[in-house]
Amino acid sequence: PPSQADKLLHCAAGLPVYQLQARIEVEAHRAGPARARAAAVEQDSECVLVVTASLVRPPGSGGGKSRASRRVFAPKFHKPKEYGWWLVLGASDGELLALKRITSPAAGPTRLSFAAPEDPGHAELTLWLVSDCIRGLDQRTTVPLEVLEVETAVAKVLPLDGDD
């Protein structure tokens, strides 16, 4: 019979591993990959983070294609459970910027909408891929931003009642 160490190694070898890539889209403009350089965004502007996860090692031994290979090894759970994931985008001060549940990270790009930070200058956001069933099976990547100050127009005060 297999030893406890053999069972543990078999379980660990069946865990999925993903590689995250992210790029920022601001309005109709596309920035390059977030890892290459910081995307320039205007403060408090509406942004979209496009996340692509590549499957480095598929779950289970079935190559990741069959339904059985997407199941979590959980012998004490009362029914079969498939892997589920959360994409979490946060700022360095702990603010949650975006949160989205996905069933398979490798299914295609996922879009997360968020507001750019209000303070101009360099900002580092953190993107987490969090498993909903195995504690510690999380991955993260840093998304650098260069937050540009929005030039405010000086309001022209018009005289009331035709006074100059």
CATH of the domain at 28: 2.60.40.150
Residue 161: inside a domain: no
* pLDDT score of 123 more than 50: yes
Residue 135: inside a domain: yes
Residue 18 pLDDT class (50, 70, 90 cuts): confident
More confident residue, 36 or 55: 55
Residue 164: inside a domain: no
C-alpha span between 137 and 130 (Å, rounded): 7
Q: Could you tell me where the beta strands, DSSP code E, fall in the chain?
A: 17-26, 29-33, 39-42, 46-57, 85-91, 96-102, 110-115, 121-131, 139-148
Residue 163: inside a domain: no
Segment 97-118 mean pLDDT: 90
Residue 75: inside a domain: yes
Q: Which two tokens stand for residue 153?
A: 């127009």
Residue 40: inside a domain: yes
Give, in degrees to the nearest 5, the angle at Cα 48 between 43 and 51.
135
Residue 32: inside a domain: yes
Contact criterion met (CB below 8 Å) for 99 and 89: yes
Half-sphere exposure for 19 (CA within 13 Å, toward CB): 5
Mean pLDDT of the chain: 79
Beta strand pairing call for 139-148 and 39-42: parallel
Residue-number span of the structural domain to which 131 is assigned: 4-150
More confident residue, 163 or 91: 91
The region, left, alpha or beta by phi > 0 then psi within -120 to 50, assigned to residue 98 is: beta
What is the number of structural domains in the chain? 1
Residue 18: inside a domain: yes
C-alpha span between 36 and 142 (Å, rounded): 11
C-alpha span between 134 and 116 (Å, rounded): 31
pTM: 0.73
